[in-house]
Structure 1
Amino acid sequence: MYKPLLALLVVLLSMHTVFAQEKLTISGYVKDAKNGEALLGATVFVPSLGEGVSTNDYGFYSLTLPKGTYELSFSYISYQEEKRQVKLDQANVKLDLEMKESALVLETVTVSSERVDENVRSIEMSVNKVDMRTIQKMPALLGEVDVIRSIQFLPGVTTVGEGATGFNVRGGNIDQNLVLLDEAPVFNSSHLFGFFSVFNPDAVKDVKLIKGGIPAEYGGRLSSILDVRMKEGNSKKFSATGGIGTIFSRLAIETPIVKDRGSLIIAGRRSYIDVLAKPFLNGDLKGSRFYFYDLTAKANYRINDKNTVFLSGYFGRDVFGADFGFDWGNTTASARWNHVFSDKLFLNTTAFFSNYDYRLQSDLKEPNPQDAFRWNSNIKTYSVKPDFTYYVNSRNKISFGGQMIYYTFQPGKAEAISGGETRSIGQDSKYAIESALYIGNEQKVGKKLTLQYGLRYSLYDYIGPGKAYTFGPQTGERRDPISEKTVQKGESIAQYGNWEPRFSANLGLGESSSLKLSYNRMAQYLHLLSNTAAASPLDVWTPTSNNIKPQLSDQFALGFFKNLNDNLFETSVEVYYKSLQNQVDYIPNSDLLLNPRLEGDLLYGDGRAYGAEFFIKKIKGKLNGWISYTLSRTERQVEGLNNDNWFPSRFDKTHVLNVVGIYDVSQRLSFSVNFTYGTGTPATYPTSKFVWQGFALPHNFYDERNGYRIPDYHRVDLAATLKQKKKLFGKGEGEWVFSIYNVYNRRNAFSVYVRQNANNPSQTEAVRYSVFGSIIPAVTYNFKF
């Protein structure tokens, strides 16, 4: 099955013999002179030839040129440009470089860490990068900087409601986003039921969201890749950052392990609502627990010029309860090895472990209760992933590699204790193996055309031990198994393979504009089952099986990119169409929790999403920010629902408008504002009612799905940042952040539901439920030394 990929690799590598004659290579690393951090996406450019290359995710670059003497220009937004004279005559050249931040960095806050015309020249489309300095200046809920809430202001990114877990991209479910923290997947990216994300801003270096034109090295999800990279730590000297906020405090410490060779960063956060509320709680509530915490750590060490190792990990939990316990959290661990085989061949090998679990338990105060209930669920992944990059020459960069993932699922298992007797209910554990090989090439064809093409093949195997059920055709109602089989450990139950081609093109239309197009096919073998309005920590992750087919998507995108006024403004317009197969839906009143036969409650259908995204961004000067507008539709068609007609999905928002503005009054003072508007999300309401013994029973007579919408959403947030005049502890920096969330006190509806009228049970009434219904001011103090 992998033979076509191997043949393509041989063809592409053979190009080296054609282009390598009489040429030599310059390679090395580009880093920050202040702390030794690798600079991702820094540009290495040869003006005399009009050719260049960008550093990879580890700061490495390689540039092959004809023999001669050249001036190289190294550039990176908010850093001083560096130039070096290089003579290529007899041998390859190794050139490492450290760049210094520009003295104007505080006056020129940017929303990208790339060269100013990267959006036009790059092959990437449907990609957004948000600099952490920008995220830290945006108004935030309760004054706390948050990665996930910040990317929701980008085009094509939405959420089903205020405080909802996760995010939706171009009409996809939250499980269709692959969220990576140092290449390890995070299965629940939220704290406090969606109000904050698991990413500590003090430990994050780079945030990249890929919505389309997805390169071949990524797979496993349909809608997007959110690639979050952690800081490596200061390899020059000890430093610390942190903050004291309204709801939690945080601290990050960076220190060299060996100066200029290795470093360590440890960052932690904990909320203290429980501590502040404790004096006001009485009785059974006295022992209430409601808080979250997380710990992030990363270490790296450069063994020699060719080998560098990285270790990183994350552990975080949310804890709620009084006389009962409810907690959930993520654990990830990544080990990476960078090896430079030659000036042209770079390898990064990653091994990771990821676990998401939740637990429910009653009667916490009794060690051996006679009556209790305990419930747990988890999904664990183990993976090895080698990624090679081969810099053939300045016009061809080949990427190839593979990945193997082993999954274990515990969808839900519970113990009910009654009178001292224990009864177990729930689902058996499930197991699966997913493997893939990929190859791709980024090729410059002349001065105006750049291509990126690749192919990925994924192979999935659903294996035992366990029970395999077989269900009949879907009818729109609950199905019982027609057969049952016990499967031994390692025995294959169902196997699927998918070819996933990828293609992107950039056609330059001049010095400041380009036309881009892309196509990608994606396959997804994991499914998040949730029949609630918004995802919750109790939702079930389940694998593709003999009954649940892998989800597939084909996405086409076309975009026009243009910079205005000497790169002062970046503008883009993108249109896309996405076709979806094997989308999971549910019968009415489905039972997904602790149900060993839950596959009988699932339905499958097709989906489509299409729209246009408009984006304008100002990147220079004291006033900067962006405006984005998205016009889109997202629909589903499922046999047995909505009379088999197309209907809007739960994530459909026709209009979304976002405005972000940041104004630097001076080196010490800045103001920022957010505005967001979105069409209300679809909802299903009763069309009639029965009255039985004086009680109204709502009923959807026409079986209409998502035929109504909740009211439109809109909100304004403000923030001001004031830096201290005096040094903190004689050498550090401090700043106050004042923020107001929901400035004009908008009571946005999270949902609208129908219930019986309390005074007249024969009547029904609609109830508007809001998560935040008032202004929320906050003050945060941040420090760095």
Structure 2
Amino acid sequence: METKCCSMKKKHHKHILICLVLLCFSVIALGQQVAKDAILLSDYLTTLEQEHDIKFSFADNALENVYVKPLDLQSLTSKLDHIQQNTDIVITKLSDRYYSLTKVSTVSICGFVLDNFEQNTIPGATVEVLGTSLTGITDTTGRFYMNNVPRTALVLVKHLGFKPQFIEVEKLINTAMCHKIAMALSYQELEEVVVSQFLTTGLNKLSDASFELNLSKFGILPGISEPDILQTVQALPGIKSVDETVSDINIRGGTNDQNLVLWDHIKMYQTGHFFGLISAFNPYVTDKVSIIKNGTSSIYGDGLSGTMDLRTSDQLPIYTNGGTGFNLISGDLFGNIPINERLGIQISARRSYTDFLSTPTYTVFSEKAFQDSQVDNESDFYFYDFTAKVLYEIDQDHKVQLSMINMSNNLSYFETSDSNAVNGSNLNQDNISLGTRLQSNWLSNFTTDLQFYYTQYGLDALTISNNESQRLQQNNLVKESSVKLITKYAVRKNLDWINGYELTETGIENRTNINQPPFASNIKGVIRKHALFSELQFTSEDSKFYGRIGGRLNYFENLNTFKEYILEPRLNITYELLPNFKTEAMGEFKSQVTNQIIDLEQNFLGIEKRRWILSDGNTLPITKSKQGSIGVNYDTDKLYIGIDGFYKEVNGINVFTQGFQNQNQFNGEIGSYAVKGAEFLINKKNNDYSLWLSYTFNKNDYLFNSLTPSKFPNNLDVRHAITLAGNYTIGHFKLGLGLNYKSGKPFTRPDADDPIDNTVFPREINYEEPNRSRLPEYIRADASANYTFVLGKTIKGTFGASILNITNRKNTLNTFYRLGEDNSIETIERLSLGLTPNASFRLRF
């Protein structure tokens, strides 16, 4: 029985083997028949030339690997039509005997867009042929069809809620069966934009009352010939600079060191070039900027007065693009380069040419920076910045980014006084920062964001005076590293729960060396900060209500002096009371351990120098703030009206960080300041123009219990600020005009009855009560214009021009006093920029 079974199995296997062999021979024979029927088109054309006494002209590579199956056709016309219908060749009749052949450069494509999970069709998906103006939308069956599509192009398919797909045209060429395109779901949350255009295009107000600057869509603002990030944010109410710099921005009466500035999630300790007159961040690689004045998310630490979060693009470049340009200070270039479908890089570089070329803009900048010098001076100054970013998509749910920024300012400055004494200064500022980020989608409702950065900032200053008999050397070094993990869980459709942990270690060193009289100081400090944060975000289904509530628990540890826990609650609520009417209520507690000492200007030939220091728990405690605000706004497509009232209190400030230049500048007392203020804005706009009027009121007072009097106006107490401005667009031409007014900031005069104290040595100035007097009002008119033109299918050019302070008004920014060599009182006035022209030219490809 077993033998029989085995015999049956062998016969069965034998039959299967015979069938497989016959099938293989059939396939081979069929292939030979197909190969026999189809011949090279070039050979077929030779036959036609002999049969019909005609001639064909074509490029050899155009017919390479092109086959055609000859049919039993009689007429020449039918044979030529057969070739065109079955190949990518177009035949053009030149005469009765001569014909030309060209390979089709465009094709017809079609496809079906489907859900990757349910395999349901997706109607309404956008189909875009990159590098062309061809776009389409899938029909109710998810199908799309396009003609005249370049064969070498790339097709982008996208739909809200799905991850975009990039497909080569060759894979979509129209055949009997259209190509199926599976779209994976995307769980990335998009922020709701409340105002689509705020003052100018590219500047938006979001649902949480923060502001977002989109540099790629930026329009124009008065006085700016091309985008400058830190100049642009000063167009918003409540954000100004009392000394016309971008490195000393005051948000609601706070000092610049109380602003948190992030670049690709890296904390920056240097923000300006040329002593703060130019932003240190290249706007052409910065994708978006978030500006937050209150109601900050618990994700952010530091930033008692405000937060500016600058980010480069997180999207992989699809095709190579970039640009280059120059203005009257510097030149730059940038590029976005795809390496493959999962890897891309972004790169930019900028350098000034002020060390070998003097322009009208540089001359005005120099006059402002060095206006406290003596008779003759020589300066050699330049700056540069460089950025690079690598983006790698591991798969659809995990992507990695690596960012780097390097910036530098270099100055050599010499002056000759009336007595022919030669003094000199060297000042170098350098910053290098590295950061990496891993974003992961683990589940449809759970994501993580892991971030790490290292940043290092250094300032080296050398002052040589009295014909090199005295040398003062100062060094400031900041090293900071941080790791942060953010988790986001979608509890339900409109409710997100965000949690995280952050560890930051900051080390700061300050060194001072003087040869005459001999003095040396080296102060180092390290603080570690552990932070746990959590918050809930809720948006109603009708989008009328938005709420965010959360907080941070910080643990500060100074390795030598103190340890402290600080709880920081945060609140942000907006609600649409009536159609187009929305109210906002916000509050926050914050703390920080880094501050800036402002060195006296006369110590460095009139050039301001700021040095970072750490809280030590004694002479400088941890600085803490609390702020609350409430506002209401009316918003339509054509009109925005908004008003906000706020109160802010900051405790733990030291007079060394406030820039006093009176009887309190050397005391080192600890105190606080409180600001009561209101901000109003009305903005009328349409597609062609935008007009706005803003008004800011601040009452900003110090409180130092150990001083007399204990309460007096803050150095930044600018009570009233008004801006009237607008821009207008005519085709490719844009024009911006603006007028700025600010009431004078306070300063301290010498006592008119007893100006000098002769009872001490060295003699001192007797001052009246601190900040009792005020500077004259500040008025400045600005204008700017640019024109965009097309040089080719992929190249655009832009000419820009701007003028700051059209009237050349001499505004006084600061006034202070010092004793001269003959013990007479000298009055030192710092003046604003005079009439400052600038021009730019850019190419974008």
TM-score when normalising by structure 1? 0.74
Q: Deviations for 1:1-44, whole angstroms, at most 9, x for unmatched residues?
A: xxxxxxxxxxxxxxxxxxxxxxxxxxxxx9997999xxxxxxxx
Q: How much has 1:619 moved relative to structure 2?
A: 5.1
Equivalent of 1:574 in 625, 641, 644: 644
Q: Deviations for 1:228-262, whole angstroms, at most 9, x for unmatched residues?
A: 11134761111121211111111111111213x23
2:277 and 2:819 mapped to 1: Cα distance?
A: 30
Structure 2 stretches lacking a partner, 5+ long: 1-124, 132-158, 163-182, 191-195, 364-375, 414-423
Alpha-carbon contact 1:696-1:764 (below 8 Å) kept: no
- SS of the equivalent of 2:791 reads coil
- SS of the equivalent of 2:236 reads coil
Equivalent of 2:590 in 522, 539, 554: 522
Q: How much has 1:414 moved relative to structure 2?
A: 3.6
Q: Which residue of 1 aligns with 2:807?
A: 744
Counting aligned pairs with the same residue, the percent is 22
Alpha-carbon contact 1:681-1:710 (below 8 Å) kept: yes
Describe how 1:71-220 pairs up with structure 2 within 5 A. 94-95=185-186, 110-112=200-202, 119=206, 122=207, 124-125=208-209, 127-133=210-216, 135=218, 137-140=220-223, 143=225, 145-163=227-245, 165-220=247-302
1:294 and 1:684 mapped to 2: Cα distance?
A: 39
- SS of the equivalent of 1:152 reads helix
Alpha-carbon contact 1:232-1:265 (below 8 Å) kept: no
Q: How much has 1:332 moved relative to structure 2?
A: 1.4
Q: Which residue of 2 aligns with 1:440?
A: 535
Which amino acid counterpart does residue 678 of structure 2 have in structure 1? A
Q: Which residue of 2 aligns with 1:317?
A: 408
Alpha-carbon contact 2:679-2:697 (below 8 Å) kept: yes
Q: Deviations for 1:33-62, whole angstroms, at most 9, x for unmatched residues?
A: 7999xxxxxxxxxxxxxxxxxxxxxxxxxx
Q: How much has 1:304 moved relative to structure 2?
A: 0.1
Residues 725/205 of structure 1: CA separation in 2 closer, same or farther (3 Å cut): closer
Q: Which residue of 1 aligns with 2:429?
A: 328
Alpha-carbon contact 1:408-1:432 (below 8 Å) kept: yes
Describe how 1:502-581 pairs up with structure 2 within 5 A. 502-530=570-598, 532=600, 536-564=608-636, 567-581=637-651
Which amino acid counterpart does residue 697 of structure 2 have in structure 1? L
Matched, 1:781 2:844: no
Describe how 1:615-630 pairs up with structure 2 within 5 A. 615-618=681-684, 620-624=686-690, 626-630=692-696
- SS of the equivalent of 2:339 reads strand
Q: Deviations for 1:652-694, whole angstroms, at most 9, x for unmatched residues?
A: 111111234221111x21111232111111111112335689x
Residues 501/194 of structure 1: CA separation in 2 closer, same or farther (3 Å cut): same
2:265 and 2:533 mapped to 1: Cα distance?
A: 17
Residues 626/225 of structure 1: CA separation in 2 closer, same or farther (3 Å cut): same
Q: Which residue of 2 aligns with 1:732?
A: 795
Residues 699/601 of structure 1: CA separation in 2 closer, same or farther (3 Å cut): closer
Q: Deviations for 1:475-526, whole angstroms, at most 9, x for unmatched residues?
A: xxxxxxxxxxxxxxxxxx2111111111122222123111111111111222
1:570 and 1:257 mapped to 2: Cα distance?
A: 44
1:391 and 1:382 mapped to 2: Cα distance?
A: 30
1:525 and 1:692 mapped to 2: Cα distance?
A: 37
2:658 and 2:301 mapped to 1: Cα distance?
A: 32
Q: How much has 1:334 moved relative to structure 2?
A: 0.8
Matched, 1:391 2:490: yes
1:274 and 1:113 mapped to 2: Cα distance?
A: 35
- SS of the equivalent of 2:232 reads helix
2:767 and 2:386 mapped to 1: Cα distance?
A: 51
Alpha-carbon contact 1:687-1:700 (below 8 Å) kept: yes
1:337 and 1:402 mapped to 2: Cα distance?
A: 15
1:31 and 1:641 mapped to 2: Cα distance?
A: 67
Structure 1 stretches lacking a partner, 5+ long: 1-29, 37-70, 75-91, 100-104, 364-368, 465-492, 592-597
Q: Which residue of 1 aligns with 2:5?
A: none
2:317 and 2:585 mapped to 1: Cα distance?
A: 41
Residues 33/619 of structure 1: CA separation in 2 closer, same or farther (3 Å cut): farther
Residues 607/435 of structure 1: CA separation in 2 closer, same or farther (3 Å cut): same
Segment drifting more, 516-525 vs 527-536:
527-536
Q: Which residue of 2 aligns with 1:267?
A: 348
Describe how 1:239-638 pairs up with structure 2 within 5 A. 239-259=321-341, 261-277=342-358, 289-321=380-412, 325-361=426-462, 374-414=473-513, 416=515, 425-444=520-539, 447=542, 448-464=544-560, 493-530=561-598, 532=600, 536-564=608-636, 567-586=637-656, 601-618=667-684, 620-624=686-690, 626-638=692-704
Residues 213/95 of structure 1: CA separation in 2 closer, same or farther (3 Å cut): closer
Q: Deviations for 1:44-86, whole angstroms, at most 9, x for unmatched residues?
A: xxxxxxxxxxxxxxxxxxxxxxxxxxx9699xxxxxxxxxxxx
Which amino acid counterpart does residue 837 of structure 2 have in structure 1? P
2:613 and 2:814 mapped to 1: Cα distance?
A: 24
Compare CA radii of gyration and give the structure with the larger one. 2
Residues 732/539 of structure 1: CA separation in 2 closer, same or farther (3 Å cut): same
Residues 286/766 of structure 1: CA separation in 2 closer, same or farther (3 Å cut): closer
Q: Which residue of 2 aligns with 1:482?
A: none
Which amino acid counterpart does residue 399 of structure 1 have in structure 2? I
Q: How many residues align?
A: 638
Segment drifting more, 447-456 vs 244-253:
447-456
Which amino acid counterpart does residue 541 of structure 1 have in structure 2? I
Which amino acid counterpart does residue 669 of structure 1 have in structure 2? F
Which amino acid counterpart does residue 520 of structure 1 have in structure 2? E
Q: How much has 1:158 moved relative to structure 2?
A: 1.6
2:262 and 2:241 mapped to 1: Cα distance?
A: 19
Q: How much has 1:288 moved relative to structure 2?
A: 5.2
Residues 405/718 of structure 1: CA separation in 2 closer, same or farther (3 Å cut): same
Alpha-carbon contact 1:509-1:515 (below 8 Å) kept: yes
- SS of the equivalent of 1:149 reads helix
Which amino acid counterpart does residue 659 of structure 1 have in structure 2? L
Residues 110/34 of structure 1: CA separation in 2 closer, same or farther (3 Å cut): farther
Alpha-carbon contact 1:233-1:265 (below 8 Å) kept: no
Matched, 1:673 2:737: yes
Which amino acid counterpart does residue 343 of structure 2 have in structure 1? G
1:686 and 1:265 mapped to 2: Cα distance?
A: 55
Q: Deviations for 1:366-422, whole angstroms, at most 9, x for unmatched residues?
A: xxx99966432111110001111111112211111010001111022447599xxxx
Where relative contact order (Cα < 8 A, 6+ residues apart) is larger, the structure is 1
2:693 and 2:660 mapped to 1: Cα distance?
A: 41
Residues 230/632 of structure 1: CA separation in 2 closer, same or farther (3 Å cut): same
Q: How much has 1:93 moved relative to structure 2?
A: 6.7
Q: How much has 1:697 moved relative to structure 2?
A: 7.0
Residues 588/343 of structure 1: CA separation in 2 closer, same or farther (3 Å cut): closer
- SS of the equivalent of 2:443 reads coil
Alpha-carbon contact 2:223-2:736 (below 8 Å) kept: no
Q: Which residue of 2 aligns with 1:769?
A: 830
Alpha-carbon contact 1:505-1:517 (below 8 Å) kept: yes
Q: How much has 1:424 moved relative to structure 2?
A: 7.3
Alpha-carbon contact 1:349-1:385 (below 8 Å) kept: yes
Which amino acid counterpart does residue 339 of structure 1 have in structure 2? S
2:774 and 2:607 mapped to 1: Cα distance?
A: 18
Which amino acid counterpart does residue 379 of structure 1 have in structure 2? V
Alpha-carbon contact 2:223-2:737 (below 8 Å) kept: no
Alpha-carbon contact 2:527-2:556 (below 8 Å) kept: yes
1:436 and 1:636 mapped to 2: Cα distance?
A: 30
Equivalent of 1:684 in 739, 748, 764: 748
Q: How much has 1:709 moved relative to structure 2?
A: 1.3
